[in-house]
Structure 1
Amino acid sequence: MPATTSDREIETLAEFDEVVAARATLAGHRVQAVDLTTRTERLHRAEVEGAIFLGCPMDPQAAADVRARGALVFPPVPGLPFDPYRGRLYAPAELFEGLSSEGGYAATPDARAYEWFQRTKADGDVFASMLRAVHDDSVSDALDELLVGDRVVGVMGGHAMARGTEAYEGAARLGRTLARAGFSVATGGGPGAMEAANLGAYAAPFAGPMLDDALQLLAKSPSFTPSITDWADAAFAVRERWPGGGPSVGIPTWFYGHEPPNAFAEHIAKYFANATREDGLLARSNAGVIFLPGAAGTVQEIFDNATPNYYESRGEPTPMVLVDRAHWTERLPTWPLLQALARERSMEDRIALVDTVEEAGRAIERLG
């Protein structure tokens, strides 16, 4: 059987050593963001024709040698606050590194990547545009690898939902219910409803009042405004008090730079291109999407999800559950239009409007 792309990807030094020891060849492999500065001799001995090295630090002579023997080498790009060739999703501690320093959030890789994006996105530099595209494609590849075989439920909702509110608590309990039911919880990765659902998934393995206690601690810093540093500090304090929480996925974007990622998503797929991020989140929610109350962004996500369900362009329609009848029929009357679109289509039996988050979890199971 021919090797798949994932079989040929090498993303850690341990994988590199294993492949070279077992096969003595890197031919046809893609070595992705692995520091090879201590592997010069092994590179020299291995067959490398057709190998591709993506952002791998290595001795200059080693780089020249593998090029001469038929490898393609994309060297690391100096001075960037991110690695465009990364082989893994982000972790909260990585994006928020330096949060406790004097510079606070502004000193973190997350803030510095946003600053770079703001500086380069409108200057017409094709190289910067290419770096963003390569980074986002690398993130998509890592996200697909993470979610293989998972039943993923997307939870959408507004970033303005404050900690300490009933709505925030409900979203957290929803995330915990979904995680305990065996679903992988995926959100837009930001504050508000998104953070609450990721928090719920983080709380899933804990018995007792852990979630109630965590909600009380977080309520002391209700919003990421005016201080992202204080808001993020509170989240990391919860993680420190209750280490080893359950995994979930956050898929945020630097497009909304004022909106930081939340620290409760164990795996963070952060994108520069918001359109890629939004479509990717919905496309990967193969077990359905739950839409909590939100504003323009959440309305857009509802119809971004409805369109492929309507045309069945991704195959069989996936469940869509809207939570809070008054919100979606009176404040932002999205439900009547969704219902009209679904009428006499295969998606008609895959949509639901419910009043509570408890009903939402049951509806996902019922419609799936």
Structure 2
Amino acid sequence: MKHTRGRVIEVTSVEELDRRLDAGARSLAGWRLVGLDLTAHGPALLDRTLAQSLFLGCRFADGVADEIRDAGGVVFPEVPGSPVDPYRATLYAPRELYDTPRYRDSLDARAYAWTQGCVGADDMLARALHDHAVDEALEGWTAGRSIVGVMGGHALRRGSEGYAEAARLGHLLGRTHTVATGGGPGAMEAANLGAWMADRSGAELGAALSTLSATPSFEPSIGAWARAAFEVVDTYGPGRASLGIPTWHYGHEPPNPFASAIAKYFRNATREAILLEICNAGIVFLPGAAGTVQEIFQDACENYYADASSVAPMILVGREHWTRTLPAWPLLEALAAEREMQDHVHLVDSLDEVRALVAPGL
């Protein structure tokens, strides 16, 4: 497929390239060719104007890459040793990351192992290029969507009432919004599950929760945990689109298979900023620990300095948790006082209260 933004033309298939060349294109200025096998296209390319063209991870016949550079094109070669495609044009699908029967052999596990190895300049370049490519793919995926975030702890176990509540929240929000989470286990998985099953009945969601409860945690076996999720996917799919934005920085947190699109990053700081930024319909914060607290105040900082048109709602669920266990609410309330965000921060206890704030028509 291709994505066209102004003068930038992104070409990610040989068929698309051939179609454009056959239509008479004489200049590749502004073209970005990604991951193509161009070993048979040397003569056709070199017969065109190549100044301001960009080739990312493409393969060429001997000497052609140098000729393209001499003609004004920019060539970024494949990065040796990288388990991921640094120039990918799409977000990950769950089965792309879980691509082998044993988790330890999967792309997800291989990518994490790669981050723990010896880090050279080529490795760092590959990771930076990969995260930039995910940024661009995510920009295209989110365009035009009303996105509500659900944040919460990774330790919440399947079979618990908290997990079921998070799933019911996702089920509610997924009817009117695209649900985005941090893409990991626990509350994140539950919210993605509920959103993915938004077109199914509450009874079917309950049955899926029962199936999952037999494998309550990704410890000690990520493989068993993922297989239980894929059993639900195969039973009730296809589901509604939802988004997960996890990171290989936390290698102990596997991505959950209920996020139909996964924007997985190497840099956690980038991932955190992007996750909060895309939630244009607001964020619901379920009980969590340090990571969730960080997200609350990172989001609060954005709202604190925003004008009225840019403030997005913040809903903290669990009065006891956010006023006594981890008293984030008093500080958030104090920050919001007399700011544009003041009427957009809420502390609630029930799904009905969340519904009234985020999806009042339901």
With the length of structure 2 as denominator, give the TM-score of the two structures.
0.92
Residue 255 (structure 1) aligned with residue 253 (structure 2): no
Q: Which moved more, 1:291-300 or 1:126-135?
A: 126-135
Residue aligned with 1:326, SS: helix
Q: Which amino acid aligns with 1:34?
A: L
Query: Which segment is superposed worse, 156-165 or 169-178?
Result: 169-178
Q: CA deviation at 1:14?
A: 4.0
How far the C-alpha of 1:72 sits from its partner, in A, is 1.0
Contact 1:309 1:317 (C-alpha < 8 Å) held by counterparts: yes
1:132 to 116, 127, 130: 127
Name the residue aligned to 2:259: 265
Residue 76 of structure 1 corresponds to: 78
CA distance 1:210–1:72, change in 2 (3 Å): same
Tell me how far apart the structure 1 counterparts of residues 193 and 113 of structure 2 sit (CA, whole Å): 27
Compared CA separation, residues 246 and 41, structure 1 to 2 (3 A): farther
CA RMSD of aligned residues (A): 2.0
Amino acid at match of 1:89: L
* One-letter identity of the residue aligned with 2:105: A
* Residue matched to 1:27: 29
C-alpha separation between the residues in 2 aligned to 1:29 and 1:314?
39
Contact 2:11–2:32 (CA<8 Å) still a contact in 1?
A: yes
Aligned counterpart in structure 1 of residue 212 of structure 2, from 169, 194, 218:
218
Equivalent-residue separation in structure 1 for 2:308 and 2:153 (angstroms): 26
CA distance in 1, matches of 2:191, 2:39: 41
Residue of structure 2 aligned with 1:169, choices 155, 164, 172: 164
Contact between 1:20 and 1:46, CA under 8 Å: does it hold in 2? no
Cα separation, 1, equivalents of 2:296 and 2:146: 20
Residue 184 (str. 1) matches residue 186 (str. 2): no
What is the deviation of 1:278? Answer: 0.4
Q: Distance between the aligned counterparts of 2:89 and 2:81, measured in 1?
A: 19
Structure 1 distance, partners of 2:261, 2:182, is 12
**Structure 1 residue 244: deviation in Å?**
1.2
Q: Partner of 1:118 in structure 2?
A: 116
* Residues 217, 225 of structure 2: 8 Å contact kept: yes
Structure 2: which amino acid aligns with 1:48? L
Tell me which moved more, 288-297 or 4-13: 4-13
Deviation at 1:232, TM superposition (A): 0.5
Determine helix, strand or coil for the equivalent of 1:293. Answer: coil
Equivalence for 1:146: 141
Letter in 1 for 2:93: A
5 Å-filtered alignment, 1:49-60, equals 49-60=51-62
TM-aligned CA distance change 1:6 to 1:232, over 3 Å: farther
Aligned to 2:93: 91
Alpha-carbon displacement from aligned partner over 1:323-361 (angstroms, at most 9, x marks no partner): 111111111111111001101111000011110233223
| Cα 1:27/1:319, change in 2 over 3 Å | same
Shift in CA distance, 170/12, structure 1 to aligned 2, threshold 3 Å: farther
The alpha carbon displacement at 1:38 in A equals 5.2
Verify: 1:107 aligned to 2:105, yes or no: yes
- In structure 2, the residue matched to 1:196 is 190
Q: 2:155 aligns with which of 156, 160, 177?
A: 160
| Candidates 344, 354, 365, aligned match of 2:348 | 354
Q: Which runs of 5+ in 2 are unaligned?
A: none
Contact residue 82 and residue 123 of structure 2 kept, 8 A: no
CA offset digits 1:94-147 (Å, max 9, x no partner): 11101x1xxx11100111111111114xx5x33322222221111111101111
Paired residues of 2:152 and 2:292 also in contact (CA < 8 A): yes
Aligned length: 356
For residues 144-191 of structure 1, give each alpha carbon's deviation from its aligned partner in whole angstroms, at most 9, with x where no partner exists.
Answer: 11111111111100000111111111111111211211x111100000
Among 218, 233, 237, the alignment partner of 1:243 is 237
Q: Provide, for residues 259-282 of structure 1, a one-character-per-residue CA deviation record: whole Å limited to 9, x for no partner.
A: 110111111111111111001100
Instruction: Judge conservation of contact 1:308–1:314 (CA < 8 Å) in 2.
Output: no
Structure 1 residue runs of 5 or longer lacking an equivalent are none
Q: Given the superposition, is the C-alpha separation of residues 208 and 295 from structure 1 closer, same or farther in structure 2, using an over 3 Å criterion?
A: closer
2:339 to 345, 350, 360: 345
Moved more, 19-28 or 144-153: 19-28
CA contact (8 A) 1:43 1:62 kept: no
**1:60, distance to aligned residue in structure 2 (A):** 3.1
Contact 1:252 1:261 in 2 (8 A): yes
Give 3-state SS (helix, strand or coil) of 2:310's partner.
Answer: coil
TM-score (norm 1): 0.91
Determine helix, strand or coil for the equivalent of 1:162. Answer: coil
Following TM superposition, the consecutive aligned residue runs of length 4 or more in structure 1 with deviations greater than 6 angstroms are: none
CA contact (8 A) 2:318 2:347 kept: yes
- What is the percentage of aligned positions where both structures have the same residue? 51
